[in-house]
Amino acid sequence: MTSLYIHIPFCNRICTYCDFNKFLIKNQPVDTYIDCLIKELSTIPTDIDTLFIGGGTPTALNDQQLERLLKFIAQQFKIQQEFSMEANPDELTAAKIMIMKKYGVNRLSLGVQTFDNDLLKLLGRTHEEEDIRRAVDTAKALDIESVSIDLMYHLPTQSLEQVKLDLEKALALDIDHISSYSLILEPKTQFYNQYRKGMLQLPDETLAAEMYDYTIRRLAISAFQQYEISNFAKPGHESEHNKVYWQNREYYGAGAGSHGYVNGERYYNIAPVPHYIKAVQLGNAVKETHKVTREESMEEFMFLGLRMNEGISRWDFLQRYGTRIEKIFGDVLTKLEASELIVVTEDRIYMTAAGRMIGNDVFEEFLLSI
């Protein structure tokens, strides 16, 4: 069995920081897109461990479009474990939640980002603080098993006090999972263009580190346990789908601009919606494939696995690659352990708290081509 990611590339509004494959939904051929998505999904094996519908904004679909897609998924796939769906708080109506529940969605991931209404406007979000509370309360009242929220820090004009307040407001909600991400300025986003023109000021990196450190310390004394660099969960509510990525396991991707990793090969679907539709109608939406080399796979195994607090298993590495981890990364492990950035035990290797603070620097050490 494996996992599946489905991409819905439509939004009612484009956020200023977002670089995902997305398009304003107005005047888009949404129904034809769903036709093609269903056609593509029909080619994927039906036994699925985890399924995640992301975007874009899946809740930008109207009730009829959402039900048609979810009904097909429920009929087509045997989902063994986790069925997640992204949602915008202001679009998450009771009717949409009931449709999701009817067809097996058991985990919702809400794009909250912040509770500060002024910052939400700056981010281009369409919701306000009161929408967040309503969405969570409604989802729980309708028996969605697990509710997660995304938060962001290192935002323009954001202070440490605002981050603290966001966390307190999150902890006051009946939620099960928190993802907390630092803003990254990605090319081709509105924020990136504003920054290059000198029109956008970000908190300095020292303050960003303080924000991250406070997040870890505050959630450590709550019901949430950190299990990955940016993710915290109550017991039993870790994101099983995202763990597929961090454990470098294979998965299918469907939809415009989606990625997949199957039989040692990564593939990338055509991104523009009209081109995706035409490609599916002609029989194949894949734009590009890449055969992952053994060296690349070992690199990914290390820097993805080390994102998790539990780290990586020496036995898993030996099973996958037929060689001991020290034979490939011995010098790196010795260096990082001496710097107290990782811990090396008989069974596992994992990052220390200090290592997680500079995770990207640690990960770069495992790039064999450098």
The CATH number of residue 310's host domain is 1.10.10.920
Is 91 in the same domain as 15? yes
Residues 140 and 134: their CA atoms lie apart, in Å, by 10
Ordered strands of the 312-313 beta sheet? 312-313, 348-351, 342-344
Residues 370 and 365: their CA atoms lie apart, in Å, by 8
Please indicate whether residue 63 or residue 13 has the higher confidence score (pLDDT): 63
Domain boundary among 230, 245, 260: 245
Q: How far is CA 322 from CA 18, 36, 68, 197, 329, in A?
A: 40, 41, 46, 51, 14
pLDDT at 355 over 60: yes
**What mean pLDDT, rounded, does the chain reach?**
95
pLDDT at 370 over 70: no
pLDDT at 130 over 70: yes
Partner residues linked to 289 by β-bridges: 267
pLDDT at 350 over 70: yes
Residue 192 lies in a domain: yes
Is 187 in the same domain as 305? no
DSSP letter for 309, please: T
Going by pLDDT thresholds of 50, 70 and 90, the confidence category of residue 90 is very high
> Taking residues 183-209, what's their average pLDDT?
86
* pLDDT given for residue 14 in this prediction: 86
* pLDDT given for residue 203 in this prediction: 76
Residue 76 lies in a domain: yes
Residues 137 and 127: their CA atoms lie apart, in Å, by 15
> Taking residues 167-192, what's their average pLDDT?
93
Domain boundary among 211, 227, 245: 245
Is 234 in the same domain as 300? no
Is 147 in the same domain as 218? yes
* pLDDT given for residue 251 in this prediction: 98
Residue 276 lies in a domain: no
Residue in this structure with the two tokens 């998505």, named with its chain if needed: 37
Going by pLDDT thresholds of 50, 70 and 90, the confidence category of residue 369 is low
Going by pLDDT thresholds of 50, 70 and 90, the confidence category of residue 41 is very high
* Closest by CA position to 273, among listed 11, 22, 52, 92: 22
* Closest by CA position to 274, among listed 256, 253, 254: 256
Going by pLDDT thresholds of 50, 70 and 90, the confidence category of residue 123 is very high
Is 300 in the same domain as 223? no
Domain boundary among 225, 245, 265: 245
> Which residues are within 8 A (CB) of 208 and not within 5 positions of it... i.e. 6 or more apart?
153, 154, 182
Is 162 in the same domain as 60? yes
Q: Which domain holds residue 351?
A: 294-364
Residues 339 and 319: their CA atoms lie apart, in Å, by 28
Is 298 in the same domain as 210? no
Residue 256 lies in a domain: no
342, 352 contact by CB (below 8 A): yes
> Taking residues 123-128, what's their average pLDDT?
94
Question: What is the sign of the dihedral through the CA atoms of 94, 42, 304 and 208?
Answer: negative
State percent of the chain over pLDDT 70: 99
* Closest by CA position to 186, among listed 158, 214, 152, 139: 152
Is 14 in the same domain as 136? yes
pLDDT at 17 over 90: no
> Taking residues 170-195, what's their average pLDDT?
92
Residue 254 lies in a domain: no
Please indicate whether residue 203 or residue 33 has the higher confidence score (pLDDT): 33
* Closest by CA position to 68, among listed 28, 43, 33: 33
Cis amide prior to 124 (ω within 30 degrees): no
Assign residue 105 the CATH number of its domain. 3.80.30.20
> Taking residues 208-223, what's their average pLDDT?
97
Going by pLDDT thresholds of 50, 70 and 90, the confidence category of residue 168 is very high
* pLDDT given for residue 204 in this prediction: 87
Is 61 in the same domain as 123? yes
* Number of domains within the chain: 2
